[in-house]
Amino acid sequence: MSATPTQINVHPIQQSPHKLTPTTTKFVFAYAPSSDGVDENLLILFHGFGDTHVPFARLGASLKLPQTATLAIRAPQLIPFLFPEDPEGFQWYPTYSDLGELLTKPDPTPVLQDLLELLDHLVNDCHWQASNIHLFGFAQGGSVAAELALRYWKHPGSGSRDSGDAANLRSRHVTLGSIVTISGPLLSYPTNIACPTPILIVHRPNSEDSALTNAAIAAFKKGFTGRVVEERLDGPPTREGMPSSRAEWEPIMRFWSDVLSRRIGGTAGDGVFRIG
């Protein structure tokens, strides 16, 4: 008996291979178009607590993901209590109280609202498809990325202005392409309809400071109903951190190879197609 042939969906598209550069002024950012000249996907990178967007802009460039532009964003809040000789570091939301005590229930709502506006700008003004926007974050940035995907799924204003009238636009859910969170848990416990955006959760369960407990992983599985992948990095270092070797990056690259969209062809109107 012959095997059933695999069905591949190929869709012709009529759009430029290049996207407009974001012009938002609420965030400091570094944008780079795809190195291969086709801006099909956008990878947004969120740094961790105390860092800036600069190393993550370099990371995005070094990844050289096919047909993928990168947007590294700097967190809006300068970390308090730094000494004058300390380098500047930024946070996405307040982490410590005015007395210097760690906040057990931080509130990311203000920055998430600004990031929702940024996503709408990318979709409506820069002509990115929401399903081709992918999020990557480390630690506090990973938490923001995951929370942002959930908020965007529930956000009533999400989507392209070209997709229908205002009433229809505000009544439908919109999903992003994917999320990768490195050592960043959810800050809220999901109670609404789960989000179908694929998510990869990377952490070091044996680390001394892991925030991704069994309960934290369960929260992800409640909040996301699509593909939820947990990748456990069991080797050194003993503290949570970014992937530090080719072997540790391999599952992330494999995840991206599954979720990133691809075009076949050259320029718009010249036999350009999207697979998937």
pLDDT tens digits, residue range 151-178?
999 875 544 444 444 434 434 678 999 9
The 262-264 sheet, strands edge to edge: 10-12, 273-275, 262-264
- Superfamily for the 10-275 domain: Alpha/Beta hydrolase fold, catalytic domain (3.40.50.1820)
pLDDT over 90, % of the chain: 61
In angstroms, rounded to a whole number, what is the distance separating the alpha carbons of residues 177 and 66? 15
Residue 208 has pLDDT above 80, yes or no: no
- Average pLDDT (201-229) is 89
| Res. 274 pLDDT band, cuts 50 70 90 | low
Condensed to tens digits (0 to 9), the pLDDT of residues 117-148 reads: 999 999 999 999 999 999 999 999 999 999 99
Q: Say what the pLDDT of residue 238 is.
A: 67
Phi, psi of 62 (to 5 degrees): -70, -25
Which stretch of 79-83, 109-113, 181-185, 235-239 has the lowest confidence by average pLDDT? 235-239
- Residue 28 pLDDT > 60, yes or no? yes
